[in-house]
């Protein structure tokens, strides 16, 4: 019986879930939904966001639909490792803004038996993989890719087009600064820009 209990306890392991897609695709909404379910189940949940994300609230994670959940603001991924050590579930929003250490932090937490749920943009406004997101998707057990609706075609969108000419990689914004586009619409607008 002792051996069976030991084996059963060792089988309890954590995992990583990544929710990704373009802007306005519902990533944060889905993250909040999963975290609230974990709270409802009376699990110990800690939620984090990067200090750079001040769009809707300096403290809480807030979706475009104004759904929100209390979070802890951290300057770097290393802080999460320290603050989340005794949790059952860890939620992380806007993961693309964290340094590459976020990948090791998430793996360390999962290896300790913690369920890690991460949301972030898969691509930047230029259509390139964004920060640590490719590595997070590669190491995650579960990846959910959500899509917005293209503002030009009405089809599924997975690009986040920046409306301004700013070339800065990180620029916080909303519908005034960004729009979700399909591959066809994104490429068409980029062709016009080049000519």
For the domain covering 13-147, report its CATH number.
3.40.50.300
- Cα separation, 155 vs 177, in Å, equals 20
pLDDT of residue 2: 44
pLDDT of residue 105: 97
pLDDT of residue 174: 52
* DSSP β-bridge partners for residue 146: 21
pLDDT of residue 10: 43
Give backbone dihedrals phi and psi of 146, rounded to 5 degrees, phi first: -105, 155
Q: Which segments of the chain have a pLDDT < 50? A: 1-11, 171, 173
Q: Which residues are catalytic?
A: 94
pLDDT of residue 6: 39
pLDDT of residue 161: 82
- Cα separation, 167 vs 151, in Å, equals 22
Residues 6+ apart with CB under 8 A from 139: 16, 103, 106, 107
**pLDDT digit string (tens) for 71-89?**
888 999 999 998 998 899 9
pLDDT of residue 68: 67
pLDDT of residue 111: 95
- Nearest CA to 136 out of 154, 151, 119 is that of 119
């Amino acid at each position: 019986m002792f051996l069976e209990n030991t084996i059963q306890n060792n089988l309890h392991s954590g995992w990583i879930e990544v929710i990704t897609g373009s802007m306005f695709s519902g990533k944060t909404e889905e993250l909040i939904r999963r975290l609230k379910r974990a709270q409802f189940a009376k699990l110990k949940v800690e939620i984090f966001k990067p200090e750079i994300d001040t769009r809707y609230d300096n403290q809480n994670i807030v979706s475009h639909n104004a759904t929100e959940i209390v979070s802890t603001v951290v300057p770097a991924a290393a802080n999460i490792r320290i603050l989340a050590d005794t949790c059952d579930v860890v939620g992380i929003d806007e993961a693309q803004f964290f340094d590459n250490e976020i990948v090791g932090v998430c793996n360390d937490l999962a290896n300790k038996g913690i369920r890690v749920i991460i949301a972030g943009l898969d691509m930047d406004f230029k259509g390139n993989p964004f920060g640590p997101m490719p590595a997070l998707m590669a190491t995650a057990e579960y990846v959910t890719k959500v899509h917005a609706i293209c503002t030009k075609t009405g089809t599924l969108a997975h690009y986040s087009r920046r409306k301004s000419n700013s070339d800065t990689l990180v620029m916080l914004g909303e519908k005034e600064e960004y729009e979700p586009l399909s591959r066809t619409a994104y490429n068409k607008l980029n062709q016009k820009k080049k000519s």
